[in-house]
Structure 1
Amino acid sequence: MDSAMDAWNVLKQNYAQPDDTRVCNLQFTLGNVTQGTQSVDTYFVELKGIWEEFRNYRPLPSCQYENCNPECFKKYTDQYKKDMVFRFLNGLNDSFSAVRSQIILMDPIPTLDKVYSLMLREEAQRNILFQTQPMLELSAMLAAANTKKKKTGRT
């Protein structure tokens, strides 16, 4: 190779080829990934990684003409971003259905980062409630036991 341009062209030829098999697999994975037992954070990172790899194979289109209407591309990217929000929401566990419904009713639909942040806060709030729940149940059981003891006359 005589120049950096030659090296670049060889690399481009070897590694920048479309790989329809990988694109097909990524689309399958993207359609099937769900939160499951993962935290919202872990699920989001997994989904984001798939999207990033997918964009390496299928970057967003750009207009190559002089008299392009930028509004056309903006509509396309806005819809693409909205679809990402919907995909994220649809993969969340059913326990998030109420929050998911509230977000879908928002106008305009929040950005993916905003939705992710809302879900993290929702999950954190649930974790706090989950941690205090056993203490509340124990307190309720002790109170019931004390009431029962008082009724039977034992102390």
Structure 2
Amino acid sequence: MPETTITFTGDTSNAAKPDNYDVNHPYHLNNSNSPEMTLVNTMFDGKGYLGWRRSTLMSLSAKKKLGFINGACQPPDLKSPDHEQWSCVNDMVISWILNALSKDIADSVIYFKTAKELWDSLEQRFGRSNVAKLYHLQKELSGLAQENSDIAAYFTKLKRLWDELDALNIIICCSCVCVCEGKAKLTKSLEDQRLIQFLMGLNDIYAQARENILMMNLFSSIDVAYSLLLQDKNQREVYANAHFNSESVSFMAVGEAKQPNAQLLADFAAFMITGQGKNYQKLRSQTQRGAAISPKYNNSG
């Protein structure tokens, strides 16, 4: 078998020394690498393959081992001094993937000799786009509304479903170099549709904010709309708290109407709400000295 050239970044001067590879070389293993390591926190049990796949790919990429599952790191010739190290790293990657699988699934792929063969088997079994998955996602999206969720939870649910849908449709995405801006227009059209879907599912309490977003000359991005809605939510919460405090102060003033200083109490309410009142200056001087509003509460000592 002819020796295969491997593309990678890093120093190649020590490529023939299995125990002295550059840290950026795909054959490099540091002291913390072991067969017992776990790549992801969630074990794949047959459900949620797309999310598990994404997490696994990111982890392998961070370790510079993607080449062992995508075919970039082909096995060297048996006589090559690199073959032993390639075999060692290949077995390490297989162990990492097996650790991230449930026992039943791991048992079904444990006898593959290369990490690429194992990964290809998982892709064939769980990664194929099919009508059933598309139907399930579209059905869940069509019935999703905010209801009892807050804005953040509602948006997160939508985003997760959109990302899963995009992952299923990756095969039909155009990868050619576009000069007519058709790809950009299609992408913008999809974003606009998702923005409308997001707004449609909001509770009626956001009706005014939703109308303001729709009245913009150019459609906002989903992230901008999300930010505006959060601002609207925060402003309403601040107003609600201020309104509650104002009513509490006014109620206190009315309840003390028969006291000798009823007018002063009323001015205290006005002072707290607007900073104004008939005895505003007197009240201000008293509050600055720490004096009580009513003399009967000031005779205790």
TM-score (norm. length: structure 1): 0.82
Tell me the alpha carbon deviations over residues 69-127 of structure 1, each in whole angstroms, 9 at most, x when there is no partner: 44111111100001111111111111111111111111211111111111111111111
What is the aligned partner in structure 1 of residue 245 from structure 2? 135
Distance 1:64 1:131 in 2: 52
Q: Please report how far the alpha carbon of residue 53 of structure 1 lies from its aligned counterpart in structure 2 after TM superposition.
A: 1.6
From 136, 144, 154, give the equivalent of 1:25.
136
Q: Percent identity?
A: 26
Question: Where do 5+ consecutive residues of structure 1 fail to align?
Answer: none
Q: Find out whether 1:54 has 2:54 as its counterpart.
A: no
Contact 1:23-1:57 at 8 Å conserved across structures: yes
Which letter does structure 2 place at the counterpart of 1:52?
D
Distance 1:139 1:62 in 2: 61
Contact 1:62-1:73 at 8 Å conserved across structures: no
Describe how 1:32-111 pairs up with structure 2 within 5 A.
Answer: 32-59=143-170, 61-63=172-174, 68-111=178-221
Q: Please report how far the alpha carbon of residue 15 of structure 1 lies from its aligned counterpart in structure 2 after TM superposition.
A: 1.7
Q: Please report how far the alpha carbon of residue 142 of structure 1 lies from its aligned counterpart in structure 2 after TM superposition.
A: 3.2
Distance 1:144 1:125 in 2: 29
Find the residue that maps to 1:109 and give its secondary structure: coil
Find the residue that maps to 1:92 and give its secondary structure: coil
Find the residue that maps to 2:146 and give its secondary structure: coil
**What is the aligned-residue RMSD (CA, Å)?**
2.6
Distance 2:185 2:252 in 1: 60
Q: How many residues are treated as equivalent by the alignment?
A: 150
Q: Please report how far the alpha carbon of residue 5 of structure 1 lies from its aligned counterpart in structure 2 after TM superposition.
A: 3.7
Distance 1:41 1:143 in 2: 40
Higher helix share goes to which structure? 1
- With over 3 angstroms needed to count, the CA separation of the structure-2 counterparts of 1:112 and 1:146, relative to structure 1, is same
Distance 1:76 1:15 in 2: 28
Distance 1:142 1:82 in 2: 51
- With over 3 angstroms needed to count, the CA separation of the structure-2 counterparts of 1:20 and 1:32, relative to structure 1, is same
TM-score (norm. length: structure 2): 0.45
Larger Rg: 2
Q: Please report how far the alpha carbon of residue 25 of structure 1 lies from its aligned counterpart in structure 2 after TM superposition.
A: 1.8
Q: Which has the higher contact order (CA 8 A, sep 6+)?
A: 1
Q: Please report how far the alpha carbon of residue 16 of structure 1 lies from its aligned counterpart in structure 2 after TM superposition.
A: 1.7
Distance 2:173 2:226 in 1: 27
